[in-house]
Amino acid sequence: MGHQTHMLLAAVSEAIEKSSKDIGGEETAFFAGMDSLDPGESDLVSAALAARKEGGVDLNKFYDEGMAQIPPLWPLGMLNAIGFCQVAIQFDLRGENGTFSPGPEAAARALIEAAESLREEKARAALAAGVSPAVSARSVARYINRGFLPASSDGNFPRPFSGAGAAALGEGAGALLIEPGKGAWTGGAPVMGYLRGWGRATALDESDGLKEAIGDSIGAALASAAISPGDVDLVVVHGAGNLNEDAAEAAALLNIFGARRPRALATKGAFGHLLGASPMVDLLLALRALDEGVVPPSPGVGDMARDALEFSDVPVAAKMKTALVLSRGFEGNCAAFCASAA
């Protein structure tokens, strides 16, 4: 029951509460993108103290005696599926289900699987959720080692598209309750919006193929939603702050939209990168923007993004019907989602 589980519980609980519906049982599907977990160092303190020696730890004594001080269920705390199961137990979610890990592609896959479970009539309703890792020295070091976060002497990371210092790792969770467009359960809260289509593509060669993969995922999402680029009023970019990858994203968007520059939103300059929660939170923000007719500001966006799209530094009122949400995971995994206003 660590921090990640608590974030996921809070997001799913709020989604169910806002729906005002009786959710649960075998007719409710549940899919979640769960990011990586790190061990709780405090659980190891007593073991290290039991084996301490001058200048460090006596490893022989640690394995002979110290390990007995470690809680026996400690290793289970590093299985992120434990958090998924805790949420399912709490809300009696016994329908079709699956958990994916790690990174943004995990949450993108969870959302697609949730929508497919409805389309295939395997569920009456589906919860799609995603949660970030907990920010810690270990998680920051892990993503620096993967090349996801740039190492720097001053501790600053680039903002989306710009390279101006801002922390790039954030914490959060998002959850959506989705139902079929036809035959949705009666009663409950008003519909927030519609998920119209989605697409996925993978760049096998990240240096040359990322632009094509981003474009392919957008093209597939537009095709499945049966809309054209001219119908898109708002684009929520992935924009994680890797200048090469952001350049590929900007180039792909220029290919899709040409001289037309739709309104756009970049979220990571405000929240940091939420990894496993990123696609869910971005989609929720897109639906909220469409519903309220206001585009939130995009802090930290640089010239490269502004060449392709219309960002704003302040909230802007605009009539919008359709949004395109982009997601990019590890190893060139790209996804795009089309959503429309209620």
Q: How sure is the predictor about 218, in pLDDT bands with cuts at 50, 70 and 90?
A: very high
Q: Is it the case that residue 251 has pLDDT exceeding 70? A: yes
Tell me, yes or no, if the two domains 3-39+76-178 and 193-341 fold the same way.
Answer: yes
Domain extents in the chain = 3-39+76-178, 42-75, 193-341
Burial (0-12, 13-18, 19+ Cβ within 10 Å), 146:
exposed
- The mean predicted confidence, pLDDT, of the chain is 87
Q: What is the mean pLDDT of residues 23-29?
A: 92
Per DSSP, what are the bridge partners of residue 236? 265, 325
The amino acid present at 45, given as its one-letter code, is V
**Pairing mode of beta strands 316-317, 193-202:** unpaired
Q: Measured between alpha carbons, how far is 170 from 297 in angstroms, rounded to an integer?
A: 18
Q: Is it the case that residue 187 has pLDDT exceeding 90? A: no
> Which of 87-96, 150-159, 187-196, 275-284 bottoms out in mean pLDDT, i.e. has the lowest?
150-159
Q: Measured between alpha carbons, how far is 162 from 301 in angstroms, rounded to an integer?
A: 6
Q: What is the mean pLDDT of residues 124-151?
A: 85
Q: Measured between alpha carbons, how far is 236 from 186 in angstroms, rounded to an integer?
A: 31
pLDDT at 186: 53
Task: Answer yes or no: CATH 3.40.50.720 is held by domain 3-39+76-178.
Answer: no
Helix (H) or strand (E) segment spanning residue 172: none
Residues 205 and 221: beta-carbon distance below 8 Å: no
Q: Is it the case that residue 318 has pLDDT exceeding 60? A: yes
pLDDT at 240: 82
pLDDT at 206: 61
In which residue are the tokens 């020696």 written?
A: 53
Q: Is it the case that residue 120 has pLDDT exceeding 70? A: yes
Burial (0-12, 13-18, 19+ Cβ within 10 Å), 155:
exposed
CATH superfamily of the 193-341 domain? Thiolase/Chalcone synthase (3.40.47.10)
Q: Measured between alpha carbons, how far is 143 from 126 in angstroms, rounded to an integer?
A: 31
Q: What is the mean pLDDT of residues 252-279?
A: 92
pLDDT at 210: 92
Residue 340 CB partners (closer than 8 Å, separation 6+): 193, 194, 196, 290, 321, 322, 323
What's the N-to-C CA distance of the chain in angstroms?
36
Residue 1 CB partners (closer than 8 Å, separation 6+): 86
> Which of 55-64, 75-84, 207-216 bottoms out in mean pLDDT, i.e. has the lowest?
75-84
Q: What is the mean pLDDT of residues 329-334?
A: 90
Q: Is it the case that residue 163 has pLDDT exceeding 80? A: no
- Measuring CA to CA, how many Å separate 53 from each of 41, 49, 57, 181, 249? 19, 9, 5, 65, 53
pLDDT at 19: 87
Entry pTM: 0.88
Q: Is it the case that residue 340 has pLDDT exceeding 80? A: yes
Residue with more model confidence, 66 or 195: 195
pLDDT tens track for 46-69: 888 889 998 888 999 988 888 888
Q: Measured between alpha carbons, how far is 338 from 232 in angstroms, rounded to an integer?
A: 9
Q: Measured between alpha carbons, how far is 98 from 156 in angstroms, rounded to an integer?
A: 36
The residue among 48, 44, 45, 34 whose CA lies nearest residue 3 is 34
